Amino acid sequence: MRLKLKKGQQKRLIKKFKEEKNLTWNNLSEFLGIKYGKLKSFFDETSLITEELYQKIDQERKFSKYIIEKKEEGWGKIKGGLNSPGSTKKIRKISFDEKLSEFVGIVLGDGHVGLYKKGKKIGVYCIRIAGDLKKDQDYHINYIKKLFQDLFNLRAKEVLRKKNNERFLDFYSKELVNLFIEMGIKPGNKIKNQSTIPKWIFSNKSYLKVCLRGLIDTDGSIFRMSKKDYKLIRINFTNHNITLLNDVRRAFLNLGFHPSKIINNRQFHISRQKEIKRYVEEIGFKNLKHIQRLKEFSPIF
């Protein structure tokens, strides 16, 4: 059973309970035995609170006076609501593995997690990957789309904007967006939210390597260090999210690389030629534009 409270009271109830228990959002979700994303949907009032959860956090029933309606489970789907086919598509059972780690890196680089609203209600759940119309064509079509299909058993929608030299891959799924919320990658502006690499990826070096590949393939670049010796090259990573920037640098350090210090709060690079060779051998590139540039600048690769 779901309970509909007067507007604002469900949010007030959860906030009051959180403050009384002096818990973080993650600790609160663990305490209540529900996923972080589901807890946030209750707090944001995009989902009606369950009767079971309500009884846990309002044992004295002080908020019972604000309950204006009770609804059976699944009432939203029965009614139709805003559950478009794209929003309700089911994803394959997720394994927290190398493939998911790489997709997370891609989303943190060129992706956007979105909850798009119709009025005051959420209408569309979407993850969008952006790229250059021509330079990222092979990477989008021949790599990311296949990776996504293997991971979630869903198809991506390709959007081309020739006037702006842009291409996008759109992935519509409520479950997928909620998965990213649960990993701490919130919808909206990644810089404002300071979205970064989830802790579970840091726990495994293999996961960390492929996540870095996704990040470098999207927000990385390769360039010559000097005009005098065209064979000397650098791998550069640029991002305006300082939390992500620090964590990507920390990831390289954890793997035994020696990245430069962060420059102007926006970038760092790897310059040691042995480490660039090691990156190519152990991590590599999947984005064809980087592979071609690497061969152009340094034929030894």
* Alpha carbons 35 and 29: distance in angstroms, whole number: 6
The reply to whether 87-193 and 202-297 are identical in fold is: yes
What does the domain layout of the chain look like in residue ranges?
Answer: 2-81, 87-193, 202-297
Query: Which pLDDT score is estimated for 116?
Result: 72
**Does position 138 have pLDDT exceeding 70, yes or no?**
yes
CB distance 157 to 108 below 8 Å: no
Q: Which pTM was predicted?
A: 0.69
Please give the residue that has the higher pLDDT: either 224 or 86.
224
Confidence label for 143 from pLDDT (cuts 50, 70 and 90) = very high
Confidence label for 91 from pLDDT (cuts 50, 70 and 90) = confident
Residue type, 223: F
Average pLDDT of the chain is: 88
* Alpha carbons 289 and 297: distance in angstroms, whole number: 12
Residue with tokens 């190398």: 98
Residue with tokens 């999207």: 218
Query: Which pLDDT score is estimated for 148?
Result: 93
| Over residues 66-91, mean pLDDT | 56
Q: How many CB atoms lie within 10 A of CB 216?
A: 26
* Alpha carbons 237 and 215: distance in angstroms, whole number: 8
**Does position 82 have pLDDT exceeding 60, yes or no?**
no
**Does position 240 have pLDDT exceeding 60, yes or no?**
yes
* Alpha carbons 146 and 71: distance in angstroms, whole number: 40
* Alpha carbons 60 and 211: distance in angstroms, whole number: 47
Query: Which pLDDT score is estimated for 35?
Result: 84
| Over residues 113-120, mean pLDDT | 74
Helix (H, G, I), strand (E, B) or coil at 21: helix
The answer for residues whose C-beta is within 8 angstroms of residue 243's C-beta and 6 or more apart is 194, 195, 196
Q: Which CATH number fits domain 87-193: 3.40.50.880, 3.10.28.10, 3.60.20.10, 3.30.470.20?
A: 3.10.28.10
Q: Please give the CATH superfamily to which domain 202-297 belongs.
A: Homing endonucleases (3.10.28.10)
pLDDT per position as a tens digit, 159-183: 999 988 999 999 999 899 999 999 9
Provide the CATH number for the domain formed by 2-81 in this structure.
1.10.260.40
CB distance 113 to 185 below 8 Å: yes
pLDDT per position as a tens digit, 26-77: 888 888 888 888 888 899 988 899 888 888 898 888 888 888 887 754 444 4
Helix (H, G, I), strand (E, B) or coil at 113: strand
pLDDT per position as a tens digit, 258-277: 999 999 999 999 999 999 99
Q: How many residues are listed for the chain in this entry?
A: 301
